[in-house]
Chains A and B, each alone.
Chain A
Amino acid sequence: MTTTNYLNADYGIWSWLLTKDHKRIAILYLISITMMFLMGGLFALMLRLELLTPAGDLLQADTYNKFFTMHGIVMVFFFLIPSIPAVLGNFLIPMMIGARDLAFPRLNLASWYVYIAGAAFTLYAIFTGGLDTGWTFYTPYSTAVANTKVIPAALGIFITGFSSILTGLNFIVTIHRMRAPGLTWFRLPLFVWAHYATSIIFILGTPVIAITILLVAVERAFRFGIFDPALGGDPILFQHLFWFYSHPAVYIMILPSMGIVSELIACFSRKVIFGYGFIAVSSLLIAVLGFLVWGHHLFLSGQSVYASLIFSLLSFLVAIPSAVKVFNWIATLYRGSIEFAAPMIYALGFIGLFTIGGLTGLFLATLGFDVHVHDTYFVVAHFHYIMVGGAIMGYLGGIHFWWPKISGRMYPEWPARIGAVVIFIGFNMTFFPQFIAGYLGMPRRYHMYPPEFQVLNVMSTAGATVLGLGYLLPLTYLLWSLRYGAVAPANPWRATGLEWQTPSPPPTENFTTTPVVTEEAYAYSHREPEYV
């Protein structure tokens, strides 16, 4: 790499910590969220080790409760929600639309510092005794009863929320105002559509969790009685406010991943995406409908039957746009020219796992059925299928796909394919038995359990070991590739998309002249096969 690119344009720690380059900020985020992922994974490992035996013999009850709480908080707020938008979205969106940077580069850097500040508060809570309320902070336990570090953790989440808001704000303005000439809305890559829809949720949803968690901190600190029934408050009101954000939050976690999958399927089938318009609009529909279904977390809370009926109906509706995407991806494969590069294996794995995760969501939306499996391992399995089988698989697929662009190096293909397969297998081994355990009646957040659940738990822990090893593979060879990987050309995948028109890695300014777009997205079929 003798040419100047964004990595070597400037040296020294301050050139990174004070950068305004969206690509460097993406790297800052990549390092932070990877560290948080490892921490969240360690907590998970401890949980699964404890659950090998029915008795609570490895960890004390309070410790176990803290570990599942902190696993959830770290993974949801500090890994899943920022991951794709803050790393791949930040890196790619300006490039995909032909811009030199996002609309507000300093705000972008600020969002990373806000994330770090929020993480600092939360890490403080974790390392000075921990938190045991569950990531859901239900009141009055969290405000009046728990004697753990609720306030610093709540403040940490409050602060980090603003990181999301700033990111979403930046993306919306950038996508609206900075598209290259000729790049109309319906020529945008679906990755951009996905992030646009996600940003709507960032803007409209995150402030609600912010105010809710702030009220929890205030109630606890000053003994205000907003959610505490002993002081006249309503604990169910907390649940409504909490889930008003936290349900759309799961769409924050999955929409960007779906955007990645669209890119991968098109590229590795070398074919135009089938149903582009429908996939684009379905992202918006998911974002909008996602705001209307939060009450399905409250079916058994004591809320009225009418409310439950409405939320159940709406929850079924929100599944349809997701199904539409899956069908369109499959139709894209039809008569394609399919290459099984590692990113494609992740994408195909995503389709399978997301299908199961999504369909089991329908189980949970079914009222009579949810009564039995609410708060059991069935729910745990469902959301891990979506968040890990879906979101993380898509994230890893994207990291691999754009790795040459980001780092200037190719990752080693065979270890990557093996890694994808190991992760897929390990994931299923871990979480499929949990569906069964849930229907059998094993409640979640249980430190110890009756013996009849042991076999399923042992299977799950065995799978978690495989999964953990699977994650170590990309961690290892991606780092290895930084030094020893093959030097990457500008467009190793012969992919469409403006980001591939720049060198690998790109210069700081991305484009020397603003590109002009004249064709639709994924115009593979128009291209000569040797197109580079």
Chain B
Amino acid sequence: MSDHAYHAYAHQFDSAEQQHGASQLGMWVFIAQEILFFGGLFVVYTVYRFTYPAAFAQASHHLDVTLGAINTAVLIGSSLTMALAVHAAQLGYRRTQALFLVLTIVLGSVFLGIKTIEYGHKFHEHLVPGPSFLFSGAEARHAQIFFSLYFVMTGLHALHMIIGIVILAVLTVMAWRGSFDRAYYSPVELTGLYWHFVDIIWIFLFPLLYLIERH
């Protein structure tokens, strides 16, 4: 932290410390907002799960637990590589941080790839809500709500991952060029915060969507 005095800071700030503190607080405020954003969806989920527990359980069994579990592991792994990237940036290791950023991108992309495969399966099984929705079993109407929530929640999550990957790509280029060192690494640190948050959302989504009444 002591090298901050040597680093330039934006004109509106009085010191690099102030800039760093401001950007950290900014990211936390942003995450607070994101919690409320996903929170609305979790409320809708909770209400309907309580109202139609059987339908939700039946519908959930149509999701591929194996793929979901693999994705969970992949995402947790990507949080690890992200944390390692931040650590490397803190220590000023240019190539290491770039490497770990790339690994995070790769793992994130694997997650998205698996998600795409799952979505494809659902499309073929006629489990996408709308006119072509076909659910065998008497709970069709309420199972449709489950799948609506499944697509909106995982879709929104995936969108956040895509945005995160784009940011990571930009960061990788910047890291490779040596933009980050012990005096200035907050973009990496703050992206790490964002990435961990997106990971935590998935850690809630996975059991809520995939693991209803699995024995």
Contact = CB atoms under 8 A, between A and B. Distances in A.
Direct contact of A and B (CB under 8 A): yes
B40 A208 contact: yes
Interface residues of B, number: 38
Contacts of A211: 37-38, 40-41
B26 A231 contact: no
B36 interface: yes
A477 interface: no
Given A102-B12, A211-B37, A231 B144 contact: yes
Interface string A299-319: 000000000000000000000
A226 B32 contact: no
Contacts of A174: 22
A105 interface: yes
B203 interface: no
Given A173-B29, A203-B29, A226-B149, A232 B144 contact: yes
Contacts of B1: none
B37 A207 contact: yes
Interface string A201-233: 001111110111011001100111110000111
B131 A223 contact: yes
A178 B32 contact: no
B33 interface: yes
B129 interface: yes
Main secondary structure of the interface of A (DSSP, over half): helix
Contact of B12 (A99, A206, A224, A226): A99
A370 interface: no
A241 interface: yes
Interface string A158-189: 00000001001110111011100000000000
A177 B25 contact: yes
Contacts of A168: 29
B129 A177 contact: no
Contacts of B131: 223
A225 B33 contact: no
A464 interface: no
Interface string B1-27: 000000000111110001001100110
Contacts of A170: 26
A51 interface: no
Contacts of A104: 22, 26
Which size class do A's interface residues fall under? 35 or more
Contacts of A212: 40
A103 B12 contact: yes
Contacts of B144: 224-225, 231-232
Contacts of A509: 11
Given A231-B141, A237-B44, A169 B33 contact: yes
Given A103-B22, A104-B26, A223-B129, A207 B33 contact: yes
B33 A101 contact: no
A147 interface: no
A417 interface: no
A324 to B, nearest CB: 28
Given A173-B29, A223-B130, A226-B44, A101 B12 contact: yes
Contacts of B32: 203-204
22 contacts: A101-B11, A105-B12, A168-B29, A169-B29, A169-B33, A177-B21, A178-B18, A203-B36, A206-B33, A208-B40, A210-B37, A211-B40, A215-B152, A222-B130, A223-B129, A224-B129, A224-B144, A225-B148, A231-B141, A237-B47, A509-B11, A514-B14
Given A207-B40, A212-B40, A514-B14, 7 more contacts: A102-B12, A103-B13, A177-B21, A204-B36, A207-B37, A225-B148, A232-B141
